[in-house]
Amino acid sequence: MKSVRPRPVVLAGPTAVGKGTVSGYIREHFPHVWLSISATTRPPRPGEEDGRHYYFVSNEEFDTMIERGDMLEWALVHGRNRYGTPRYAVEKALDDGFMPLLEIDLQGARQIRESMPEALFVFLAPPSWDELVRRLVGRGTENEEERTRRLATAEVEMAAADEFDVVIVNDDVRRAAEELVSLMKSQRT
């Protein structure tokens, strides 16, 4: 009997909603879920490792990846840095029967909808706008100008929640991660 090919799952949501935290929890507790690693031109944050959290690349390297068609999607985020999903690794994970989870931004999710319409699109939402602001400020990784830019982007991203198949509220990391993994298991095509 032929094994069932998993359905890719796209996880998106506003800045500081906890996409990385939920994905990290899944990485640690659910090894059967294959997490896509994005390439980015931004510098690493404290504790981030190249090849584990992101592939940190120069603008020139990113340009080359785009020119070769190596990106499933890519976007300029917050008007500053580029992020993208390497195509080959996702296709290989699908072919190998893994449940792929792509943690990306709204622009990337829209591109994936065009290139992989069979994917399941999940929006990770904060419990409230005030909580999102608190998380962004509490992170302490952005200056005031960057926070203002990210919050403006977050407003646009929050308004796009209805473009997604499912909304999961991240009021508890463990619960949100478990809900997402349960959803993924139910979506094998």
* Number of CB atoms found within 10 A of residue 158's CB: 17
**pLDDT tens digits for 115-145?**
889 899 999 999 999 999 998 888 877 888 8
> Is the predicted pLDDT of residue 107 greater than 50, yes or no?
yes
Q: Per-residue confidence at 178, pLDDT binned at 50, 70, 90?
A: very high
pLDDT for residue 1: 47
pLDDT for residue 31: 86
> Is the predicted pLDDT of residue 189 greater than 60, yes or no?
no
pTM (predicted TM-score)? 0.84
> Is the predicted pLDDT of residue 99 greater than 50, yes or no?
yes
State the average pLDDT over residues 166-187.
95
Percent of the chain with pLDDT over 90: 62
Percent of the chain with pLDDT over 70: 97
State the average pLDDT over residues 147-154.
90
Print the SS3 string covering 14-55.
Answer: CCCCCHHHHHHHHHHHCCCEEECCEEECCCCCCCCCECCCEE
What the block records as the tokens of 47 is 């504790």
Alpha-carbon span 37 to 14, nearest angstrom:
18
Nearest to 10 by CA among 85, 104, 111: 104
Nearest to 99 by CA among 33, 161, 35: 33
CATH number 3.40.50.300 is the correct assignment for the domain at 9-186:
yes
pLDDT for residue 2: 54
Alpha-carbon span 188 to 161, nearest angstrom:
23
Of the two residues 156 and 189, the one the predictor is more confident about is 156
Length of the chain: 189
- For the chain, the domains span 9-186
Q: Per-residue confidence at 89, pLDDT binned at 50, 70, 90?
A: confident
> Is the predicted pLDDT of residue 39 greater than 90, yes or no?
yes
